[in-house]
A and B are shown apart, each in its own frame.
Chain A
Amino acid sequence: MNSIPWMFLLPSIFGAVLAGFACSAMGNFVVRMNLSSIGYCMSHAAFAGAAFGLLITVDPMLTAVLFAIITALVLGPIAEKARLENNIVIGFMFSFMIALAFIFLYAKPGEAATGKALSILWGSLFSVDFNDVILLSVLSFILLLFIIIFYKELLSVMFNRKMAESSGVNTRIFYFAVLFFTGFAVALSLKIVGGLLVFALIINPTSTSYQFFYDFKKIMIFSPVFGILSCLVGFYFSWIYDFPIGASIVIVSALLFAISIILSPKRKKGKRKQKK
């Protein structure tokens, strides 16, 4: 067990809670709008961006945010215009971004094996500073406002984009807003969870929440609860057993998902009906 006083961990704890909130709040939309492949690419774009930051000795967080947002802005229109299959987007962008990241890390051999570089891959408990917490707080607040103010539009788009469009909703704005905010959430959570695992924090809490509720409002409320819980428990295990923080958070969230499948009332009801 680490012997660092708890006080020093406060930014990390707040960071973990906020990352859990931001990622899982966006996860609600990403999962429902079938954008998982696009978000998946974004987490790797953020990783490539961070590696690029190390290469040009700029704050990796800044370049990660830039890469993720540029990907969000470019990918949305490309996927929409070219009507690409999700698998093609994954195959193309994922490999492209990972290749970029490796080239950036390779171009600076000294940096590749340093803790700073690895922390982009795995996440780090101590890399979160006060500024990160401020940024994550601002993002979380904006996300909360976005969800509350545009809830009716978001729900409409998520049920069926074409039907939402047909009743007078400009669905493209909301589609891009979701991509944009997902890019932000991924990039800002990168330091804690790591580029290779951050997307699990988007998918897992929402998938867990889906197992329990049919009401989208409840899913919207509970997936951040599961996200924050995963981050806090993951953080605790990382602290006690010295696990890598990202892996620890993702394993907790995956376990929560596994448990939710077993306990899911949705599945129990189905079984009863089948017996009839």
Chain B
Amino acid sequence: MKDNQNVIDLKEISTIYEGEKIPVIKNINLQVKTGEFISIIGPNGAGKTTLLESINGLLDFQKGKAFVFGKKIDRNKTAIRKHIGYVIQNFELDPLAPFLCKDIVMSGRTGKIGLLRFPTKKDWEIVWQSMSLVGMIDFAKRPIGKLSGGEFQKIILARALAQQPRILLLDEPLSNLDISSKKQIETLLNRIHEKYKITIVMVSHDLTNVPANCNRIIVLDKGQIIMDDNKKKILKSENIEQIFKNDENRRI
């Protein structure tokens, strides 16, 4: 595949949840080039996670056509996912969960290693590299349930990196973190983008959580893309403030 080709290409995508009549995302057109770092922002309930999970095929879309790496998503889900790292939104983890950090990071490679094969020395080397990159190598043998929010997020990021993905999908990777952890993860994302030239699509509901390397912002509201431009233009736009103000009013 050529470098300038769209690594993600969504054409008129609409996704409806089971039992619902109104699509969560409507007529989405999104083209992402190799190596881009984009942020999808929007208020709560705008359909950000739905859009992200339509890209890696975790959610089926009902209308439109979608391609990742030039392949149809709906027909190549499992194959495509092996090259897409996904960091899901913070989930509650049982503090007694019986998993060591190194095993969780290795679990990112499960699909890539493939069925009926065992992890090799090389696979473990990739795991150690990913853990070192996020600064968590000393936590290899620690139980995952004992980590703080920021540490946990780094391990989940290392898990996605161990997959050696071509695309990294991040769902609110900075939410529920304290300021210093937010900064650390942000720096990490910039470093990963520079070092590996991975295409990164990051979802956030907070305008202040846009990493420095992110050059394009997509604003999603009520399931539709209402703005798609470079970071500076979007952040200066008056509309954007209005959207987030409306969201605050809705919540009040």
Contact = CB atoms under 8 A, between A and B. Distances in A.
Given A163-B86, A166-B56, A156 B99 contact: no
B225 to A, nearest CB: 23
A155 B156 CA distance: 15
Contact of B104 (A159, A217, A219): A159
Contacts of B99: 155, 159, 214-216
B58 A162 contact: yes
Report the contact-size class of chain A (Cβ under 8 Å from the partner): 20 to 34
B163 interface: yes
B195 to A, nearest CB: 21
Interface stretch (A102-110, A123-131, A167-175): A167-175
Given A155-B103, A168-B81, A266 B111 contact: no
A262 interface: no
Report the contact-size class of chain B (Cβ under 8 Å from the partner): 35 or more
A156 B100 contact: no
A164 B84 contact: no
A164 B106 CA distance: 11
Nearest to B83: A168
B110 A170 contact: no
Query: Majority SS of interface residues in chain A?
Result: helix
Contact of B110 (A156, A213, A217, A266): A156
A149 B118 CA distance: 8
B81 A165 contact: yes
B135 interface: no
A70 B163 CA distance: 37
A219 B203 CA distance: 36
Given A165-B58, A167-B82, A152 B108 contact: no
B98 A215 contact: yes
Given A149-B116, A152-B113, A162-B88, A167 B163 contact: yes
Interface of A: 32, 149-150, 152-153, 155-156, 159-160, 162-170, 210, 213-217, 219, 266
